[in-house]
Every structure is written in structure tokens, then in C-alpha cells.
Amino acid sequence: MLEYVLKRVATMFVTLFAVVLLTFILMHSVPGGPFTAERKLPEQVERALIQKYKLDDPLYKQFFDYLKGLARLDLGPSFKYEGRTVNEFIREGFPLSARLGLLSVGFTLLTALPLGILSAVKNGKWQDILVMFIATLGITIPSFVIATALMYVFSFRLGWFPVFGVKKLNGYVLPVIALSGYSLSFVARLMRSSLLEVMGQDYIRTARSKGLSESAVIIKHALRNALIPVVTILGPTIAGLITGSFVIEKIFALPGMGVHFVTSIANRDYTAIMGITIFYATILVAMVFLVDIFYVMIDPRIKLGRES
């Protein structure tokens, strides 16, 4: 187990290093410096700026400086806003995005799992058809369309929820639904197919022939194994929900990370784009790592070490 964890930690760092390297190269191959603007700066000012941000250093040295900064969890200064750092952007934006993401994770799990189970148990009946219809809608309709549709119906037409902002608690309702639409449908579908597969296995017949009640068979025997594939995709799902909210934040005008990211793109604020990308990637990689570890712990069929 320890060996496996260490190996996974090592690959995690390799991945993160690749991410940093790739973003760094991409952002430094943009034609023109970060200070080339329509309004030409005086030469001395430009030189001073370049010196201040050490842009005249050779590229590999800049990269090592950046890595050193990362080791101290310092993502560097913003290129567009004098005296502000990328860390500040993240500190301002991330709490809201994280709250939104975690609420969506909760909402996804609380609705998708029961719906998927219901759908599998009532296989072929109207409940199954209804749930799968909704799930297909959720998978095919892009989140920004869901978000705008929800906003139009529930905020403008019915006036049940605020149009934007999260001053009141019910401001979270629509963003959370719109954000979880895709993952909810995906998890529900996976839960259904995985439970259906397990229900066809021999040990379920054994459990039934012992005379166990149907609910006992499902809860005690089938569900435990059926949950394993669901757990596998939880890592990317959670990370996606926490980080994937640019569009939702933009539509509902919530001042989260996504808004900072989109503004940085519009401003061509390269350090900010780079920093936020790396931050997002780190969350994602860490989530996948945690889930992988958890996965090994819950699935008795996976044997590590000697066999593999």
C-alpha cells in the first residue's frame, strides 16, 4: 500500500511538473511582451518594467525562478494590475467557487445516487425511462444553456430566485443546479448501469435464494460493489465542479475564480492565466490522487504490490 501511495505521489508530481512546463512554454511563446500595448510606453519605463519582472533573463532561468516561487506557493505578480499578485486573485475568488463547487458535489451525490438506484431497480418501468430521459438532457445540453434557461424561467418569469449574486442564500440554488446538471446526469447513468450489472451476478441470486428481502439484497450486497465504478469518476467530477464554473459564474455574475480567469484572458494577463491554470490543474490532480487511494481501500478485489 505504502509503495503504491509513493508511486502515485511521484506520478502526481511528474504530471504537475508537465503542467507547469507546458503552461510556461505556452504563455512565453505568445508574440510580443506582456507590456506591448496599443499605447507605446516610454523606453525607460518599459526597460524598468522588464527588469522588475526579470523578463530579460534567459528563459530557463525565468522558469527556475517561477518554480522556486511555486515551491513557496507564490504564483508571482499580475502583469496587468500594478502591485497585485496572482495569489490575491485566487484568495479573492476561490472561496466562492469552492463553496459553489462543494454545494454542487453534495447536490450531485444526494440526487444522482438515489435516482440511479431507483432507475436500476425499476429497470424498464416509467421511473427508469423518466430518470434516463432527464439524464440524457443533462448530458447533452451545455451548462450555459441550462443556466440561462433556468435564469429566464425562475428568475425573470417566476421571480423565485435572485437574478444574480449570492447575498441571500437562495442565490445559490440556480447556479448549483446549472453547475451540477452534467455531473448529476453522468453519475446517475453510471450508477444505474453499474447496479444493473451487479444485479445480474450469481452472488445476488444466492442472496435472494437465502430469502433476503429485496431491499437487503440491494443495500447490503449489490450496492457495495456497484458503487466502485462511481467512486472512480468522483475525483474528476469533484474537481470539475470546483473548477469548472467559469461560465456559471459569468452568467450569474458571481465574483468567483472563473470570473478572474475570464478577465485575465480578456486582459491577456499572462501570469494570472498561468497561475490560475496551474492552480486548477493542481486541484484536479490532487482529487484524482485522493480518489485513487480511496478506491484501492474500498475495493477488495484490487491487490497491489507483489501480484501486479
Nearest distance in Å: CB 74, another protein: 21
Phi, psi at residue 54, to the nearest 5°?
55, 40
CA angle at residue 120 from 116 to 123, to 5 degrees?
Answer: 135
DSSP letters along 200-261, please? TSHHHHHHHHTT--HHHIIIIIIHHHHHHHHHHHHHHHHHHHHH--HHHHHHTT--SHHHHH
By CB under 8 A, name the binding residues for another protein: 11, 14-15, 18-19, 22-23, 26-27, 29-30, 136, 139-142, 144-145, 148-149, 151-152, 156, 239-240, 243-244, 246-247, 250-251, 262, 265-266, 268, 273, 277, 280-281, 284-285, 288
Q: Which of 69, 22, 16, 66 is nearest to 287 (CA)?
A: 16
Gap between the Cα atoms of 187 and 217, Å rounded: 22
Residue (90 or 288) nearer to another protein, CB: 288
Residue (192 or 221) nearer to another protein, CB: 192
Residue (18 or 302) nearer to another protein, CB: 18
The H or E element that residue 121 is part of is helix 86-121
Nearest distance in Å: CB 218, another protein: 26
Residue (123 or 140) nearer to another protein, CB: 140
CB 246 within 8 Å of CB 262: yes
Nearest distance in Å: CB 248, another protein: 11
Residue (1 or 153) nearer to another protein, CB: 153
Nearest distance in Å: CB 32, another protein: 11
Residue (127 or 263) nearer to another protein, CB: 263
Nearest distance in Å: CB 19, another protein: 6
**Sign (positive or negative) of CA dihedral 174, 179, 182, 187:** negative
Nearest distance in Å: CB 262, another protein: 5
**Residue entry with cell 475495493:** 299
